[in-house]
C-alpha cells in the first residue's frame, strides 16, 4: 500500500513538471511572436525623411534578427519538449521497475509461505504451526488458527517429517480487493509412522497474497485439482 501511495505522489509530480514545461514553451513562443511584431514595426517605421544609411554587412538586417529570434524560440520549444519526453520515459521506467520488484517480492513470499505449509516436522510441530500463522492473514489466518491444535497433534502423533520443494510460481491475476492470486506448484517428500519413507507428494495451490504493513501474507489457500 505504501508503494501505491509513493507512485501516486510521483505521478502528481510528473504532471506538475509537464505543466511547468508546457507553460515555459508557451512563454517562449509568445516571446518569439512579440519579437517578430517588434521587428515588423521597426521595418514599417524606417520610411520617411530619415536619411538613408548604408547597410553595414556586419550588422544583421531586421528580418535576419527576426528569424534568428524565432529560430531560438522554436529551439527552446523543441528542447523543452525533449526534456518533458525524457522525464516521462524515465518516470514510466521507474514505475515499471517498481511493479516488477513488487511482483518478485510477492512471488517470493508465496513460495516461502507454501514451503512452510508443506514442510511440517514432528520434532517441533508447534514452531511449524507458528510459522504458518506468521505468514497468514484474513480468512486463511482464521481458518488455520481454528485447527492449529489438531494440526500440531496430528504431526506429532504421526511422527511426520516432510521436506518440501517449490517447483514454480506465477501470478494468475490481481483482484479488486487489492489481493493478488498466485499459482504455486511444489513437491514434498514425506516420512511418517504409517510407513511412508520419502514418499513424494505433489501440490498445486492457488493462494491469495495481501500486503500487510509492507509484508506479503497468505489470505487464502486453495488446492487446485
Task: Convert the pLDDT of each residue in 83-102 to its tens digit.
Answer: 666 666 666 656 666 568 89
Q: Is residue 50 part of a domain?
A: no
Domain membership of residue 46 (yes or no) is no
Residue 77 in grid coordinates: 520549444
Question: What's the rounded Cα separation, in Å, for the pair 105 and 112?
Answer: 11
Chain segment 107-119, per-residue pLDDT in tens? 999 999 999 999 9
CB burial readout 211-222, b (16+ within 10 A) else e? beeeebbbbbbe
Give the CATH number for residue 4.
3.10.450.230
Report the helix count and the strand count for the chain, using DSSP H and E: 4, 4
Instruction: Write out the residue range of the structural domain in which residue 203 sits.
Output: 1-41+62-225
- The pTM assigned to this predicted structure is 0.59
The DSSP bridge partners found for residue 136 are 218
For residue 203, what are the β-bridge partners? 186
Q: CB of 212 within 8 A of CB of 131?
A: no
Collect the ranges in the chain with pLDDT lower than 70: 1-99
Amino acid at each position: 500500500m505504501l508503494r501505491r501511495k509513493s507512485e501516486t505522489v510521483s505521478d502528481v509530480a510528473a504532471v506538475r513538471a509537464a505543466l511547468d514545461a508546457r507553460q515555459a514553451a508557451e512563454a517562449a513562443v509568445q516571446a518569439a511572436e512579440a519579437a517578430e511584431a517588434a521587428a515588423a514595426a521597426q521595418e514599417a517605421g524606417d520610411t520617411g525623411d530619415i536619411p538613408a544609411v548604408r547597410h553595414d554587412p556586419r550588422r544583421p538586417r531586421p528580418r535576419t534578427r527576426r528569424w534568428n529570434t524565432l529560430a531560438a524560440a522554436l529551439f527552446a520549444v523543441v528542447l523543452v519538449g525533449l526534456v518533458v519526453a525524457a522525464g516521462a520515459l524515465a518516470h514510466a521506467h521507474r514505475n515499471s521497475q517498481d511493479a516488477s520488484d513488487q511482483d518478485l517480492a510477492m512471488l517470493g513470499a508465496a513460495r516461502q509461505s507454501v514451503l512452510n505449509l508443506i514442510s511440517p516436522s514432528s520434532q517441533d510441530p508447534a514452531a511449524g504451526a507458528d510459522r504458518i500463522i506468521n505468514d497468514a492473514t484474513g480468512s486463511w489466518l482464521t481458518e488455520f488458527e481454528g485447527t492449529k491444535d489438531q494440526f500440531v497433534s496430528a504431526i506429532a502423533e504421526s511422527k511426520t517429517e516432510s521436506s518440501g520443494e517449490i517447483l514454480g510460481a506465477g501470478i494468475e491475476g490481481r483482484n479488486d480487493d487489492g489481493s493478488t492470486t498466485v499459482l504455486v506448484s511444489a513437491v514434498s517428500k514425506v516420512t511418517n509412522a504409517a510407513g511412508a519413507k520419502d514418499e513424494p507428494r505433489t501440490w498445486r495451490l492457488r493462494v491469495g497474497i495481501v500486503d500487510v504493513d509492507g509484508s506479503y501474507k497468505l489470505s487464502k489457500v486453495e488446492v487446485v485439482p
